[in-house]
Amino acid sequence: MAAALMLRDEGGREAVVGKSSGYWLSADDFIASEEVSADESELARLGFPRDWPAVYSSNSALKSLIGKRGRIPSKRAAVAGVPTAEQRAKVAAGFAAHPLQSFANAERAAETLAGVKVVQGWAVFERLDRPPGAAFVAERYWWNALPDGTWVDLTPRPEAWENLLLAEAAQGAPKRRSVLTAAEAAFAARLLDFRFEAAARKAASPSPAPAPAAAGGVTSRPKDVTPATSSSARPRPTKEQEKPHEAVSKPAVAPPATQAAAKPLDYSRWSCIVDSDDEVDEAAAGKERMVPQQLFGVKDLADGKDSRRQPPVPDYLLGNSSGGGGMNCYTSLCRLLDADANHEKASENTYRLAQAFGKIFHCGLKDEKRQRFYKDAIAAGPEGAFIVILGLGSILPALEAARRAGGRVVLLEQSARLANLAREVAKANGVSLPTVAIKEGFAKKEPLTEALRQNLPEKVKHVVIITELFSPDLLSSGIVPSCTTAHAAVTAIAPKAKVHHIPKTVELSVTPMELRSERIGEFDIRPFNAFRHSSSNDKADFWWWATRLDNQPDTKVGLLGPSQTLAGFDFDRSSEIPLDEVRRDMQLKISQRGRLNAVALWWTARTSSGLEYSTKPGIAGGDPPSRSEWKQAVHYLAGETSVFVGDSVEVKVSLTPCFTVRMMQISPFSVEAPVWVKAPQQAKASATLPILPYHFLMMTDVHRLQVYADAIRAAVRQQRKRLGRRPRVLDAGCGLGLLGMTAALEGADVWLCEAVPQMRQMCREVLAVNAKDIAEKQGLVYLLPAMMSTRLQVGEGDVTEKFDVIVSEVLDVWGLGEGVIPTMRHAHKKLLAKGGEMLPSRLVIFAQPLELQKWSQAERDSQVNLSPLGETFTCQFEPARIRQFPHRMLSDEPQPVLEIDLRNIPEQPADGAQNVEGVELCIRMGAKPALHAKMTQMRICNSGMLCGYGMWWAADLGNGHVISNSPSSPQRSWKQIIRWLDEPRFVGEGEDVQVLASYNEQQVHVKDLAIPQEMFNQYREQIRAEHEKEQQHQQQQQQQQKDAQQKVNDAAVAAALGAARATATAQSQNVQEYDDVIEVD
Residues 366-385: what's their mean pLDDT? 94
* Cβ neighbour number for residue 316 with a 10 Å cutoff: 12
- This prediction has a pTM of 0.67
pLDDT greater than 80 at residue 411: yes
What is the pLDDT confidence band of residue 571, given thresholds at 50, 70 and 90? very high
Contact indicator for 914, 922 with CB cutoff of 8 Å = yes
Number of H helices, E strands in the chain: 24, 47
Residue 160 pLDDT class (50, 70, 90 cuts): confident
Phi-psi region of 868 (alpha: psi -120 to 50; beta: other; left: phi over 0): alpha
C-alpha separations of 224 from 11, 42, 199, 768, 908 in Å: 11, 27, 13, 50, 53
Question: What pLDDT shows up at residue 944?
Answer: 93
Sheet holding 648-655, edge to edge: 582-589, 648-655, 661-665
**Half-sphere exposure for 121 (CA within 13 Å, toward CB):** 27
Task: Give which of 556, 526, 553 is closest to 698, Cα–Cα.
Answer: 553
pLDDT tens readout for residues 600-619? 999 999 999 999 999 999 99
Report DSSP state, residue 529: G
Q: How far apart are CA 703 and CA 697, in angstroms?
A: 12
Give the per-residue pLDDT at 27.
86
Look at 139-148, 302-311, 1004-1013, 1062-1071 and tell me which has the smallest mean pLDDT: 1062-1071
The mean predicted confidence, pLDDT, of the chain is 81
Q: What percent of the chain has pLDDT over 70?
A: 80
pLDDT at 13: 84
pLDDT tens sequence across 813-865: 999 988 999 999 999 999 999 999 999 999 999 999 999 988 888 888 889 99
Whether 317 has a pLDDT exceeding 60, the answer reads no
Q: What is the pLDDT of residue 737?
A: 95
Comparing 884 with 54, the larger pLDDT belongs to: 884
pLDDT for 131 equals 86
Instruction: Quote the pLDDT of residue 330.
Output: 74
Count other Cβ atoms within 10 Å, centred on residue 345: 5
Higher pLDDT, 953 or 210: 953
Distance of CA 611 to the CA centre of its chain: 49
The per-residue pLDDT for 208 is 41
* Cα–Cα distance measured from residue 748 to residue 946, given in angstroms and rounded to the nearest whole number: 50
Per residue in 464-488, pLDDT tens?
999 999 999 999 899 999 999 999 9
Of residues 1007, 1004, 992, the one with CA closest to residue 965: 1004
Residue type, 115: G
Residues 686-710: pLDDT tens digits? 445 666 667 788 888 899 999 999 9
Confidence check: pLDDT of 210 > 90:
no
CA–CA separation, 545 and 634 (whole Å): 5
Rg of the chain over CA atoms, in angstroms? 40
pLDDT tens, residue by residue, 113-151: 778 889 999 999 998 888 888 889 999 999 998 887 889
Share of the chain above pLDDT 90, in %: 46
Please report which confidence band the pLDDT of residue 931 belongs to, taking 50, 70 and 90 as the band edges.
very high
Please answer whether residues 919 and 1023 qualify as being in contact, where contact means their C-beta atoms are separated by less than 8 angstroms: yes
* Choice among 240-254, 648-662, 774-788, 1023-1037 with the minimum mean pLDDT: 240-254
Task: Identify the DSSP state of 410.
Answer: E
The values of phi and psi at residue 325, to 5°, are: 80, 25
The pLDDT assigned to 267 comes to: 39
Please state which of the ranges 237-251, 560-574, 666-680, 896-910 shows the lowest mean pLDDT: 237-251
The pLDDT of residue 209: 39
